[in-house]
Structure 1
Amino acid sequence: MEVAARVLLEALKRLLEDGPYEARLVGGAVRDRLMGREPNDFDAVVVGPALSLARALADAVGGAFYILDARREFGRVVWRSPQGRRFYVDLARREGDSWEEDLRRRDFTINAMMVEIEAFLRPEGFVPFDPLGGLEDLRTGWLRPCAPDAFRRDPVRTLRAVRFEAELGLRLAPEAEAALVEAVPWLFLTAAERIRDELVKILLIPPAVRSLRRMEALGLLERILPEVASLRGLTQSPPHVWDAYAHTLRAVAAMERLLGSWAESPELQDLPPRWAEVEAAMAPWRERLQSRWEEEVAVGRPRRALLLLSALFHDVGKAGTRTVEPDGRIRFIGHEAIGARWAADRLEALRFSGDEIEEVETLVRHHMRPHGMARRLTPRGIYRFFREVGERGMDLALLALADTLAVWGPTLTEDIWGPRLRVAQALWQAFFEAPERFVRVVPLIRGEDLLAMGVPEGPQIGRLLEAIREAQAAGEITTREEALALARRLIDEVGESEARG
């Protein structure tokens, strides 16, 4: 067992020995140890004051304590090890009058195995208390609920079933699948935050498209992400190879691969193998890009998940903007703006944070911008791009590549791909190698300089400064003197124009 985990559990064991508590470990940590995996998330069932024990554990290890449900005496301890790894211990009061009764109220048999902490710490392993046959289900690969009404009692378990199938390679038992489908309509009773957390966990298990297909088959997709489900069967004109939904899944698969996953899927195999070229294009900045993608925008939700959500939502606006021209051509004018609004509304309903919503909304709204830049790539255009989207331009470059691969698929030509790859590389290079020119421009002159030249206070000053910043980004001026000279010329041009008018 990992040293840090042992330190944490030994602290809990000492508290149990010294206080009025009795507790056992249950759930995912027990399952993971039996599968040979090292857990960092532990669940303890407590007979006694569970919140007091949680608070005492947090104090003992120098961690943070949170009350998750005061009525049920359910608390969480979050502790960061000296090596920087984060560990969680959830402590809850035992439900029912016995350990077995508590287990029967849990979600799946594989999570209804229990062990005393002392036994869990033994290096030679342990035999769990397993009245529901979870160990045998792990061996045979079945995912079974602990009770026939498990999904109805907690509908979020429908999503957890999809996650455990993907994460553990299990398959939902046939009778359980029928019970799951019956419980899907009851998801509206579940707190949106819980649905959000399960959705993010699902997306972070490669290949995400496998789970999305599974959610579709079980009726979960249209319940949780109806905007995405509405794309099914929405036909598109060439150069699109697939309908809007099939295209979206391939964009998600492409995004996942560009983020570094090697998980295979049928959708990924449909796409041209341009991965090495993208890796070469981002190679000088790969570590910094990777660090950005792994950064948590909200606790437990890295930017990687937001990029996958952006790929999932990037075309949802097409369901509301589809028109057919007299010549039969299908168009989706303004789908970016509509899609951005719909994506923001859905993420708000799922209780994502404001920062997360803004990131996804920006990526969806501007996902076509890099495509346009491929027709004519200029320094001035790069500056304007980053002026609009800021540092999210790095992520937009990746989304545009994923979109390109999913539009053309096997019909993609070098004439299309080459310029778009060069745009992505130019955007990454501008951000990392010349931010003072393209992203965070260091002004050569300021408003007071223009005031001293006789320009009156007002919007003209802002327009002049912006024109000078653009010229600076384009490489047309590089010194303060050149900026002042340009300012005088622009002022004169404004004066001449007003005189003619």
Structure 2
Amino acid sequence: MTVTPRMPKRPLWWSDFILDLQDLLLQWRTPCYIVGGAVRDAWLHYPIQDIDLAVPEDAIGFAKRLTNILKADIYIMDEARDVARVWVKQADTTLHIDIARFRGQTLADDLADRDFTINAMAADLLGDLNQLIDPLNGETDLADKLIRQCNPHSIQNDPVRGIRAVRQSVGLSAKILPDTLSAIRTYAGDIGKTSPERVRDEFVKLLGMSRPQSALRILEAVGLLRHIIPQTTGLRSLTPSPHTENGWSHTLLTIEKLHGIYLTISPQRTDSTAAVFDLGMIVTALDIYRRQLQTHIAHQWANDRPHQALLMLGGLIHLLSVEDADAVATSLRLSNDEKKRLMRMVSAYRDVPNTGTDALSLHYFWRKYADAGIDGCLLAMAYYLAHENIHIQQDDWLKQLEHIQIMLNAYFIRYEEIINPPPLLTGDDLVAQLGLSPGKQIGKLLTLIREAQVLGKIATVDDALALVKTHL
């Protein structure tokens, strides 16, 4: 294998940040190479989200020095393997730079030990960034849209790479070569022997991509999904709709519809997205809340995990029992906040169709679910579209959207009127003015006051006191 730089078949596009980084490192004269996905994306002319750097030695020391220069943050990922991550805050995002010591003695050893040839290219930050280091012919595989493991043991050594292969095959519209696919199938069962956090992170990336339903279909077909979320294996025995073959088909269709709803809400919406009948009606009915919905789905969870992925996970488990859904959240090592949101959204979607449009019913729903109710509304729409599938009727879909519109109006427009009216009295007020003792009775009386406000029966402090006295 040669690591001699050469001109690629198409120019590499580097961001200003990387060009500035090169200027900095030229002053250090410390050998350093950009490797992995950043090189692949530079060849594809994609925006570079994260940067992997490989150095011959003392990667952690290198990272600390870089942290000081860039006024960034650092996390030591693996002291034994000499790996660190640097977070660089930019105008509207945070850039991750992972710095690692060579996997082996040389750069060639490092690249040969990576996952797939398309991710085993490098560029010399002390040399010409227009040139490519490509000992495994990753450029050819990238041009031909092929996913090929770097060596016969790539998947065996790290079964989590199988998830990545599926994700990148869908994201790049690439074919997984037979020997690589065979290795993924063979070692799928070993994924449980790897770090649950690494499995979670790769799986979340898959859920957060475009066409997650396609990736999940492949993940299930190659035998990986049953080792990541074994609770999904029983979905094929369910028949939630006369219009889908089984629960698994319905789940994939629900996720497809949910992703379509996400795109309809998102800034990435195109005219062709809204031209689809069911999504076009969402534009008409719910665009008044689009800005608020965009803010909601743009939320980032721990370690920058996108809310979009959690929403798709909700779609994946929405037919499971509460116990199974809880087990999924636990096995994926979700944060407590993520787990709470996931469980509430899959509960909320079931309540959405049965929630009345009167003020008190809306009050109960939103007090119970808070912002997870928004996810419940989105998931309920996706469920309905999957349930009806091609048999959807315009009038029925319009009624569903009118119902969702009323529910979202209560949350986004009439929040202080219906969900959380300004308190007329506090618990201390009740104790001081009515001589009550602290306890459960206080909470019940405050709820009584709040619900009377929602119904428009009271509006002043005197009204509230009079109401309380009638219940003592």
TM-score by length of 2: 0.90
Structure 2 residue aligned with 1:497: none
Structure 2 residue aligned with 1:88: 96
Secondary structure (helix, strand or coil) at the match of 2:202 reads: helix
Shift, 1:219, TM fit: 0.3
Secondary structure (helix, strand or coil) at the match of 1:78 reads: strand
Q: What is the CA–CA distance in structure 1 between the aligned matches of 2:199 and 2:152, rounded to whole Å?
A: 21
Q: AA paired with 2:19?
A: R
Q: What is the CA–CA distance in structure 1 between the aligned matches of 2:221 and 2:324, rounded to whole Å?
A: 23
Shift, 1:348, TM fit: 1.6
On the 8 A contact 1:242/1:407 being kept in 2, the answer is no
Structure 2 residue aligned with 1:244: 247
Q: Does 1:260 find its partner at 2:263?
A: yes
Q: What is the CA–CA distance in structure 2 between the aligned matches of 1:84 and 1:14, rounded to whole Å?
A: 28
Select 1:149's aligned residue among 128, 134, 153.
153
Q: What is the CA–CA distance in structure 1 between the aligned matches of 2:63 and 2:429, rounded to whole Å?
A: 61
On the 8 A contact 1:344/1:358 being kept in 2, the answer is no
Structure 2 residue aligned with 1:387: 367
Q: Does 1:313 find its partner at 2:317?
A: yes
Structure 2 residue aligned with 1:102: 110
In the TM superposition, 1:30-41 aligns within 5 A as 30-41=39-50
Q: Does 1:116 find its partner at 2:124?
A: yes
On the 8 A contact 1:58/1:65 being kept in 2, the answer is yes
Shift, 1:414, TM fit: 5.1
Select 2:326's aligned residue among 303, 319, 344.
344
In the TM superposition, 1:397-408 aligns within 5 A as 397-408=377-388
Q: Deviations over 1:402-440 (max 9, x none)?
A: 111112223334564344322321222112222222333
Structure 1 residue aligned with 2:419: 439
Q: AA paired with 1:360?
A: L
CA separation of 1:420/1:349 partners in 2, compared to 1, >3 Å: closer, same or farther? same
Q: What is the CA–CA distance in structure 2 between the aligned matches of 1:403 and 1:131, rounded to whole Å?
A: 48
CA separation of 1:14/1:287 partners in 2, compared to 1, >3 Å: closer, same or farther? farther
CA separation of 1:475/1:11 partners in 2, compared to 1, >3 Å: closer, same or farther? farther
Q: AA paired with 2:61?
A: S
Shift, 1:456, TM fit: 5.3
Structure 2 residue aligned with 1:475: 456
Report the identity percentage: 32
Shift, 1:85, TM fit: 2.9
Q: What is the CA–CA distance in structure 1 between the aligned matches of 2:372 and 2:401, rounded to whole Å?
A: 17
Secondary structure (helix, strand or coil) at the match of 2:236 reads: coil
Structure 2 residue aligned with 1:371: 353
Structure 1 residue aligned with 2:3: none
Q: What is the CA–CA distance in structure 1 between the aligned matches of 2:120 and 2:161, rounded to whole Å?
A: 14
On the 8 A contact 1:386/1:438 being kept in 2, the answer is no
Select 1:420's aligned residue among 400, 418, 423.
400
Secondary structure (helix, strand or coil) at the match of 1:145 reads: coil
On the 8 A contact 1:370/1:420 being kept in 2, the answer is no
On the 8 A contact 2:348/2:373 being kept in 1, the answer is no
Q: Deviations over 1:238-271 (max 9, x none)?
A: 5x644222111111111111111699xxxxx9xx
Structure 1, 463-472 or 216-225: larger mean CA deviation = 463-472
Structure 2 residue aligned with 1:61: 70
Q: AA paired with 2:256?
A: A
CA separation of 1:13/1:190 partners in 2, compared to 1, >3 Å: closer, same or farther? farther
On the 8 A contact 1:12/1:57 being kept in 2, the answer is no
CA separation of 1:50/1:447 partners in 2, compared to 1, >3 Å: closer, same or farther? closer
On the 8 A contact 1:236/1:243 being kept in 2, the answer is yes
In the TM superposition, 1:73-222 aligns within 5 A as 73-81=82-90, 83-119=91-127, 121=129, 125-126=130-131, 128-222=132-226
CA separation of 1:95/1:453 partners in 2, compared to 1, >3 Å: closer, same or farther? closer
Secondary structure (helix, strand or coil) at the match of 2:84 reads: strand
Shift, 1:371, TM fit: 0.9
Shift, 1:178, TM fit: 0.9
Shift, 1:284, TM fit: 2.0
Q: AA paired with 2:292?
A: R
Q: Does 1:71 find its partner at 2:80?
A: yes
Structure 2 residue aligned with 1:464: 445
On the 8 A contact 2:449/2:464 being kept in 1, the answer is yes
Q: What is the CA–CA distance in structure 1 between the aligned matches of 2:390 and 2:73, rounded to whole Å?
A: 51
Select 1:300's aligned residue among 298, 304, 311.
304
Secondary structure (helix, strand or coil) at the match of 1:360 reads: helix
Q: What is the CA–CA distance in structure 2 between the aligned matches of 1:296 and 1:194, rounded to whole Å?
A: 18
Q: Deviations over 1:326-358 (max 9, x none)?
A: xxxxxxxxxxxx2xx322222222211111111
On the 8 A contact 1:11/1:61 being kept in 2, the answer is no
Q: What is the CA–CA distance in structure 2 between the aligned matches of 1:449 and 1:9, rounded to whole Å?
A: 65
Q: What is the CA–CA distance in structure 2 between the aligned matches of 1:300 and 1:448, rounded to whole Å?
A: 41
In the TM superposition, 1:228-239 aligns within 5 A as 228-236=232-240
Q: What is the CA–CA distance in structure 2 between the aligned matches of 1:288 and 1:276, rounded to whole Å?
A: 19
Q: Deviations over 1:122-178 (max 9, x none)?
A: xxx32x121211111112111100111110111111111011102222111112111
On the 8 A contact 2:34/2:125 being kept in 1, the answer is yes
Q: AA paired with 2:284?
A: A
Q: What is the CA–CA distance in structure 2 between the aligned matches of 1:170 and 1:219, rounded to whole Å?
A: 19
Structure 1, 407-416 or 108-117: larger mean CA deviation = 407-416
CA separation of 1:241/1:468 partners in 2, compared to 1, >3 Å: closer, same or farther? farther
TM-score by length of 1: 0.85
